[in-house]
Structure formats: C-alpha cells, structure tokens
Amino acid sequence: MNYRKSTPDTTVTRDMIKMSEETGNVYETVRIIGKRANEISAEMKYELGQKLQEFASSTDTLEEVFENKEQIETSRFFEKLPKPSLIATQEFINHKLQYRNPAKEKYTNEFD
C-alpha cells in the first residue's frame, strides 16, 4: 500500500465533534480510528520485515553491516512514512473505512 500519498505532510487540527457526527459518539470514532491504526501498523511492520529479510545473511561481517546502504535506505523510508494514526484518521475522513457496531444492530432471531 502506498502510505505516503494518503496523508498530508503537515499537522492538521481536527474537529472531533464534526468527525464523530457519522458515528454519533466521539469515543466510538476514536476506537474505529485506533483499530484501523493498529491494522496499518501491523501491515507496515510486516512489509518492513519482509524487505529487511532480503538483506539478512547468516555470515555477516563487520564491514558488510556498515556498508549495506540499501538496508539503511529501506529503514529510512519506513521511518519517514506518516504515523499509522494519521493515515487511519485520513481514511476515516475520506469515508474509506467500513465499520459496524454489533451492539447497535438489531438482534434478529431466525425463529421469529
């Protein structure tokens, strides 16, 4: 996933009351964004692990550790990415998140 294009580079103040109009509850909005941020964080961690695993070798010498510029560039790229919470907030604002609250849904009994 291309995380860099999904969020602005600068810090933006958000109106939580306006953001929570869709859910009707500020805390539910924060919970939705938080859960999505955890998902994004796990995806980013997995991608970083996969890319760094390409550089792993069982016989690293001291010179190889210091000279592996590609590995350093990969790590720097992931460090410069926006925080998962910012990405999740932007997705929520752009209505790109699907969520549901089972407690608010009507209970239907198949025998009724």
Q: At what angle do helices 26-53 and 69-80 cross, to 10 degrees?
A: 170
Is residue 7 within 8 Å of 70, Cβ to Cβ?
no
Q: How far apart are CA 32 and CA 88, in angstroms?
A: 9
When pLDDT is averaged across residues 83-90 and rounded to a whole number, the result is 90
Kindly report the pTM of this predicted structure: 0.75
Asked whether residue 71 carries a pLDDT value surpassing 50, the answer given is: yes
Q: How many residues in the chain?
A: 112
Greatest pairwise CA separation for the chain in angstroms: 73
Two tokens at 48?
């970083």
Asked whether residue 8 carries a pLDDT value surpassing 50, the answer given is: yes
